[in-house]
Chains A and B, each alone.
Chain A
Amino acid sequence: MRDTNEMEVIFDSCSSNERFARVAVASFLTQLNPTVEEVSDVKTAVSEAVTNSIIHGYDQEIHKITVKCRIEQNRFAVTVKDTGKGIKDVAQAMMPMYTTRPELDRSGMGFSFMEAFMDKVEVESAPGEGTTVRMEKTIGKGRNLWTTQSL
């Protein structure tokens, strides 16, 4: 079996595509035989990143969001990229409870959830150029597949 695999989807930044994005990523992830918990973790993290692009990156205007996934052995990586307004101060944006849009009922917990549910979160952003969020998670950590044990 090949141990690398990639996929990429590009879609419009409308809120109904939040579900599409996390379901598409989750179905690509199934080839790693993840637990229900791991699927939920990845779905939540992807949902947070895509929602950020829609609300903050594009100010709810319709543009394109690119989601790329890569599998390398049991390592899962997902990138969510927009070409929106970008983030001035990434460290501040990632602080729990910090939000620029409290009037839209944003809790300021988006990046905190991404960090809690994934092993690694990296944010690359420049004002006027957009934002790329790269996240990684090892699937099946500490879990022995029965097929690898000697019968």
Chain B
Amino acid sequence: MKYQVEENCLTIFLPKEVDHHQAEEIRKDADAMIERNHIKYVIFDFGETEFMDSSGIGAVMGRYRLVHLIGGEVWGVHANARIKKILTMSGVTKIMQIYEEDQR
């Protein structure tokens, strides 16, 4: 798992498969970083992600709960069609903005 902190923004580069096993690790790492760096914005980068189940949705919702308290936001980038479908179906797109590259 790779993470990048820039000022008050944390980018989480998600693994190839986001299941409960991987989500546990993301939760522990990300929450420590959010607290330590006073993170307000969390970006989920799905660039490498080919598989995701509801554990991924839980990971997004959990981080949203944290940063929402201080007026922050969660974003999703580089999601493929399958991941977008999962995100939309779960309704998590109501709290997470999806950044579309082809929007000009």
Option from A18, A106, A110 in Cβ contact (under 8 Å) with B21: A18
Check A116 against B89 for contact (C-beta < 8 Å): yes
Q: Are B58 and A105 in contact (CB under 8 A)?
A: yes
Pick from A15, A43, A44, A113: contact of B20, CB under 8 Å: A15
B90 within 8 A of A: yes
**Which parts of A4-18 form the interface with B (CB within 8 Å)?**
15-16, 18
Choose the segment among B47-55, B69-77, B96-104 that binds chain A (4+ C-beta atoms closer than 8 Å).
Answer: B47-55
Interface size class of chain B, counting residues whose CB lies under 8 Å from the partner chain: 20 to 34
- Whether A100 is near chain B, meaning CB under 8 Å from some CB there, is no
B61: interface (CB < 8 Å): yes
Report B59-101 CB contacts with A as 1/0, cut-off 8 Å.
1011000000000000000000010001001101000000000
> Per-residue 0/1 for B24-40: is the Cβ within 8 Å of any A Cβ (1 yes, 0 no)?
10010000000000000
> How many inter-chain contacts with C-beta < 8 Å in the A-B complex?
66
Instruction: Contact check, A109 vs B90: say whether CB atoms are below 8 A apart.
Output: yes
Q: How far is the CA of A106 from the CA of B90 in the complex (A)?
A: 12
A side interface size, CB within 8 A: 24
Q: Interface of chain B, helix or strand or loop or mixed? A: helix
> A16 and B51: CB pair below 8 A?
no
Instruction: Name A45's closest neighbour in chain B (CB-CB).
Output: B53
Nearest residue (CB) in B for A15 is: B21
B90 touches A107 (CB 8 A): yes
- In the bound complex, residues from chain B placing their C-beta under 8 Å from that of A44 are 51-53, 86
Interface pair A51/B17, CB less than 8 Å apart = no
Q: Does B42 contact A (CB under 8 A)?
A: no
The reply to whether the CB of B57 lies closer than 8 angstroms to some CB of chain A is yes
A 84-132 contacts with B by CB, 8 A: 104-110, 112-113, 116
* A40 to B55 Cα, complex, angstroms: 15
Q: Is the CB of A43 within 8 A of B23?
A: no
Q: Inside 8 A of B61's CB, which chain A residues have their CB? A: 105, 107
B residues sitting closer than 8 Å to A (CB atoms) are: 17, 19-21, 23-24, 27, 51-55, 57-59, 61-62, 82, 86, 89-90, 92
